[in-house]
Every structure is written in structure tokens, then in C-alpha cells.
Amino acid sequence: MSFANLGLAEPLVRALEAKGYTEPTPIQAQSIPILLEGGDLLGIAQTGTGKTAAFVLPSIQRLTETQKRVLPTHCRM
């Protein structure tokens, strides 16, 4: 399985591959699809298994997909 198969956006997959990450760990493979759908998750895994990336990658994707709030061009009094 690859990160692309988990539903991550292509720019994130390219960034991961550029850093040498081609295959998700078990905790990442199980949690990323759930988090991309907005689900809740409680995960337990040993240190060094990629829990932080499992949480952060879907978070980054969701943030980049969210439309930016348009700021007003003038001040209201």
C-alpha cells in the first residue's frame, strides 16, 4: 500500500516520497483514511511508528482544502 492509496493529496505524497517515505506504517495505514473523513480516532502504537505523521498528514490536507476566509477590505465602526 502507498500513501496515495490512503487518499492523501498528490503534493503530500510527492513530499513524502522526496523524503524517502514510500509506504505507510500500520498505524498510518489504519488511521489516515479515518482522519481524512473527519472521524475520531484513538490510536496506540510504539514510539517511532509514525503516530505523529498519521495525525498531521490528514490535518495538513484538511487545512489546505479549507477555503480561506475573505478578510474585509475596510473597517466597520
Determine if the pTM surpasses 0.85. no
| Contact indicator for 54, 6 with CB cutoff of 8 Å | no
pLDDT in tens, 2-61: 999 999 999 999 999 999 999 999 999 999 999 999 999 999 999 999 999 999 999 999
Alpha-carbon distance 47 to 45, whole Å? 7
Alpha-carbon distance 66 to 61, whole Å? 9
What pLDDT, on the 0 to 100 scale, is given for residue 4? 92
Would the CA dihedral through 20, 25, 30, 32 be positive or negative?
negative
